[in-house]
Structure 1
Amino acid sequence: MEVNKNTLAQTMAFLLLIPPESNLAKLLKLCLVTRYNRESLGQNALEKSYELINNSFELPYWIQEVIQSDEKITPEEWQAFGELNLKQTQDFINTLWQELDEMKL
Structure 2
Amino acid sequence: MEVNKNTLAQTMAFLLLIPPESNLAKLLKLCFVTRYNRESLGQNALEKSYQLINNPLDLPYWIQEVIQSDEKITPEEWQAFGEMNLKETQDFINNLWKELDDLKL
Pairwise TM-score range, normalised by the shorter structure: over 0.9
- Paired amino acid for 1:36: Y
Whichever residue aligns with residue 11 of structure 1, its letter is: T
State TM-score, norm by structure 2.
1.00
1:1-105 alignment, distance < 5 Å: 1-105=1-105
Aligned-residue RMSD, C-alpha: 0.2
Compute the displacement of 1:11 (Å): 0.1
Q: Distance in 2 between matches of 1:7 and 1:17?
A: 16
Structure 1-normalised TM-score?
A: 1.00
- Which residue identity is paired with 2:37? N
Q: Partner of 1:85: helix, strand, or coil?
A: coil
Deviations 1:52-96 (A, max 9, x none): 000000000000000000000000000000000000000000000
CA deviation string 1:24-56 (max 9, x = no partner) = 000000000000000000000000000000000
Question: Unmatched 5+ residue regions in structure 2?
Answer: none
In the alignment, the residues of structure 1 paired with residue 87 and residue 44 of structure 2 have an alpha-carbon distance, to the nearest angstrom, of 29
1:47 alignment partner, SS class = helix
Give me the whole-angstrom Cα distance separating, in 2, the residues matched to 1:77 and 1:57.
20
Report SS of the residue matched to 1:20: coil
The size of the alignment, in residue pairs, is: 105
